Structure 1
Amino acid sequence: MIRKLIFTVICLLNYSNTILAQVVISPNKEVQLDFILQENGTPGYKIAYKNKAIIKSSKLGFTLKESENLDNGFTLLDYETSTFDETWKPVWGEESEIRNHYNEMLVKLKQESTGRLMNIRFRVFDEGVGFRYEFPEQPNLGHFVIEDEKTQFAMTGDHTAFWIPGDYDTQEYDYTESRLSEIRGLMDKSITGNLSQKSFSSTGVQTSLMMKTDDGIYINIHEAALIDYSVLHLELDDENMVFNAWLTPDVQGTKPYMIAPANTPWRTVMVSDDARDILASRITYNLNDPCVIEDTSWIKPVKYVGVWWEMITGKSSWAYTNDFKAVKLGVTEYGTATANGTHGATNKRVKELIDFAALHGFDGVLVEGWNVGWEDWFGHSKDYVFDFVTPYPDFNVDEIQAYAKSKGVEMIMHHETSSSVRNYERHLDAAYQFMKDHGYNAVKSGYVGDILPRGENHYSQWMINHYQYAIEKAANYEIMVNAHEAVRPTGIARTYPNLIGNESARGTEYQAFGGSKPNHVTVLPFTRLIGGPMDYTPGIFEMDISKLNPNNNSHVNSTIANQLALYVTMYSPLQMAADLPENYNKFLDAFQFVKDVAVDWDKSVYLEAEPGSYITIARKAKGTNNWFVGNVNGKQTRESNISLDFLDKDKKYTATIYADAKDANYKTNPQAYTIRKMKVTNKTKLSLNSVEGGGYAISIMEE
Structure 2
Amino acid sequence: MRNVLFILFGVVLLFGCSNKTITYYKVNSPDRNLVLNFNLNQKGEPFYTVAFNNKIVIDTSYLGFDFIDAKSLKSDFKIVNFNFSTFNETWQMPWGEQTDVVNHYKELKVELQETTESNRKLNIVFKVYNDGIGFRYEFPEQPYFKEALITEENTEFNLTEDYKTFWIPGDWDIYEHLYSTTKLSEVNALKYVGHVNLAQTYIPNNAVNTPVTMVGNDGVHLSFHEAALVDYSGMTLEVDTKNLNLKSVLVGSKNSDYKVKRTLPFHTPWRTVQISNSAADLIESKLIVNLNEPNTLEDISWFKPMKYTGVWWEMHLGKSSWDYGMEMVDGEWKDTGKAHGRHGATTENVKQFIDFSAQNNIGGVLVEGWNTGWERWIGFEDREGVFDFVTTYPDYDLEEVVKYAKAKGVEIIMHHETSAATETYTKQQDTAFALMQSLGIHSVKTGYVGKILPKGEYHHGQYMVNHYNKTVEKAAQYQVAINAHEPIKATGLRRTYPNTISREGLRGQEFNAWAEDGGNPPEHLPIVAFTRMLAGPIDFTPGIFNIKFDDYKPNNQVNTTLAQQLALYVVIYSPIQMAADLVEHYEVNPVPLQFIRDVGVNWQETKVLNGEVGDFVTIARKERITGNWFVGGITDENARTLDIDFGFLDTDETYQAIIYKDGQNAHWNDNPLDLEIETLQITKDTKLSIPLAEGGGFAMSIIK
TM-score, normalised by the number of residues in structure 2: 0.96
2:125 to 121, 132, 142: 121
Q: Which residues of 2 match residues 417-496 of structure 1 at below 5 A?
A: 417-496=418-497
- Report the residue type matching 1:454 in the other structure: K
Amino acid at match of 1:305: T
Identity of aligned residues (%): 44
Structure 1 Cα separation of the partners of residues 84 and 396 of structure 2: 61
Matched, 1:307 2:307: no
The amino acid that maps onto 2:657 is: A
CA contact (8 A) 1:18 1:38 kept: no
Could you tell me which amino acid in structure 2 is paired with residue 341 of structure 1?
Answer: G
1:106 to 95, 106, 109: 109
2:250 to 216, 229, 247: 247
Counterpart-to-counterpart distance in 1, 2:556 and 2:673: 16
1:74 aligns with 2:103: no
1:188 is displaced (CA, Å) by 3.9
Q: Which residue of 1 aligns with 2:60?
A: 57
Cα distance, 1:14 vs structure 2: 11
Distance change >3 Å, CA 288–CA 185, structure 1 → 2: closer
Counterpart residue type for residue 91 of structure 1: P
Give, in whole Å, the separation in 1 of the partners of 2:11 and 2:313.
62
Residues 185 and 240, structure 2, Cα contact 8 Å, conserved in 1: no
| CA apart distance, 1:98 | 0.2
AA partner of residue 34 (structure 1): N
Letter in 2 for 1:494: R
Are the structure 2 counterparts of residues 329 and 282 from structure 1 closer, same or farther at C-alpha, using a change threshold of 3 Å? farther
What is the CA-CA distance between 1:529 and the residue it aligns to?
Answer: 1.5
SS at structure 1 position matched to 2:702: strand
Equivalence for 1:40: 43
Q: Return the alpha-carbon distance in structure 2 between the equivalents of residues 294 and 447 of structure 1.
A: 29
Deviates more, 1:595-604 or 1:253-262: 253-262
The 2-side partners of 1:625 and 1:398 are apart by 37
Counterpart contact for 1:18–1:36, Cα < 8 Å? no
Task: Give how far 1:191 is off.
Answer: 4.7
Q: 1:689 pairs with 654, 674, 691, which one? A: 691
2:198 equivalent in structure 1: 194
| Corresponding position of 1:378 | 378
SS in 1 for 2:550: helix
Q: 2: distance between equivalents of 1:36 and 1:577?
A: 53
Matched, 1:361 2:361: yes
Q: Distance in 2 between matches of 1:148 and 1:18?
A: 33
Q: Give the distance between the partners of 2:632 and 2:355, measured in 1 at CA.
A: 28
Q: Secondary structure at the match of 1:492?
A: coil
Distance 1:18 1:587 in 2: 73
Are the equivalent residues in 1 in contact too, given 2:190–2:204 (CA < 8 A)?
A: no
Amino acid at match of 2:135: F
| Partner AA of 1:376 in structure 2 | R
The DSSP-based 3-state class of the residue aligned with 1:493 is: coil
Deviation, 1:42, is 0.4
CA distance in 2, matches of 1:112, 1:186: 40
The answer for the alignment partner of 1:656 in structure 2 is 658
Please report how far the alpha carbon of residue 254 of structure 1 lies from its aligned counterpart in structure 2 after TM superposition: 2.3
* 2:532 equivalent to 1:531: no
Cα pair 1:19 1:38 within 8 Å, conserved: no
Which residue pairs with 1:558 in the alignment? 560
Alignment of 1:502-581 (within 5 A): 502-513=503-514, 514-547=518-551, 549-550=552-553, 553-581=555-583
Q: Match of 1:394?
A: 395
Q: Give 5+ residue unaligned stretches, structure 2.
A: none
- Write the letter of the residue equivalent to 1:144: A
* Residue 219 of structure 1, CA deviation: 0.5
Q: What are the superposed Cα offsets for residues 306-340 of structure 1, whole Å, 9 maximum, x if unpaired?
A: 0100011221100001x64xx37952322x33221
Cα 1:438–1:111 change in 2 (3 A) is same
* Post-superposition CA distance 1:333-381 (Å, at most 9, x none): 22x3322111100111101011101111210100000001100112212
Measured in 1, the distance between the counterparts of 2:565 and 2:16 equals: 56
User: Alignment partner for residue 86 of structure 1, among 86, 89, 95?
Assistant: 89
Q: 1:234 aligned to 2:241?
A: no
Alpha carbons of structure 1 residues 14 and 598: separation in structure 2 relative to 1, 3 Å? farther
Contact kept? 2:13, 2:23, Cα under 8 Å: yes
8 Å contact from structure 1 (residues 2, 83) kept in 2? no
C-alpha separation in 2, matches of 1:141 and 1:190: 41
Matches within 5 A, 1:269-348: 269-321=273-325, 324=327, 327=328, 330-334=331-335, 336-348=336-348
Q: Is the 8 A contact 1:12 1:21 kept in 2?
A: no
1:545 deviation in Å? 2.5
Counterparts of 1:33 and 1:591, CA distance in 2: 50
Aligned residues: 694
Structure 2 Cα separation of the partners of residues 246 and 21 of structure 1: 28
- The answer to whether the 8 A contact 2:169-2:190 is kept is no
Partner deviation per Cα, 1:233-259 (whole Å, 9 max, x = no partner): 000111111011000002335211011
Please say if residues 508 and 536 of structure 1, whose CA atoms lie closer than 8 Å, have aligned partners that are also in contact. yes
SS at match of 2:79: strand
Instruction: Select the residue among 257, 260, 284 that pairs with 1:256.
Output: 260
- Taking the aligned partners of 1:255 and 1:610, their CA distance within structure 2 comes to 37
Q: Which amino acid aligns with 2:696?
A: G
Asked if 1 retains the 8 angstrom alpha-carbon contact of 2:189 and 2:207, the reply is no
**Superposed displacement of residue 546, structure 1:** 2.6
Structure 2 counterpart of 1:524, one-letter code: V
Unaligned stretches of 5+ in structure 1? none
Distance 2:438 2:112 in 1: 53
Moved more, 517-526 or 559-568: 517-526
CA distance in 2, matches of 1:456, 1:275: 36
- Please name the residue that 2:181 is paired with: 177
TM-fit CA distance, 1:140: 2.3
Q: Take 1:693 and 1:232, find their aligned partners in 2: how far apart are those partners?
A: 33
Counterpart in the other structure of 1:498: 499
SS of residue in 2 equivalent to 1:68: strand
| Deviates most, 509-518 or 70-79 | 509-518
8 Å CA contact 2:189–2:203 kept in 1: the answer is no
State the secondary structure of the residue aligned to 1:220: strand
Looking at structure 1, the residues matched to 316 and 93 of structure 2 have their Cα atoms a distance apart, in angstroms, of 33
Instruction: Output one character per residue of 1:427-464: Cα deviation in whole Å (capped at 9) or x when no partner.
Output: 00000001111221100000000000011100000100
The 8 Å contact of residues 488 and 505 in structure 1, kept in 2 or not, is answered as no
Structure-2 separation of matches of 1:536 and 1:623: 25
CA drift at 1:260 = 1.0
* 2:104 partner amino acid: H
- Contact 2:333-2:372 at 8 Å conserved across structures: no
Separation in 2, partners of 1:644, 1:37: 50
Matched AA of 1:297: S
Distance 1:189 1:63, change over 3 A: closer
**Distance of 2:343 and 2:115 partners within structure 1:** 67
SS at match of 1:475: helix
Aligned mates of 1:175, 1:686 — CA distance in 2: 32
Q: Establish whether residue 215 from structure 1 lines up as the match of residue 218 from structure 2.
A: yes
| 3-state DSSP of counterpart to 2:405 | helix
Equivalent residue number for residue 134 of structure 2: 130
| Alignment pair present for 1:673 and 2:675 | yes
Cα deviation code 1:189-240 (max 9, x no counterpart): 9955310110112x21111000011121111000000000000100011111
Instruction: Confirm or deny: 8 A CA contact 1:165 1:191 kept in the other structure.
Output: no
The structural deviation recorded for 1:13 is 4.5
Shift of 1:651: 1.1
After TM superposition, give the deviation of residue 19 of structure 1 in Å.
Answer: 4.5
SS at match of 1:278: helix
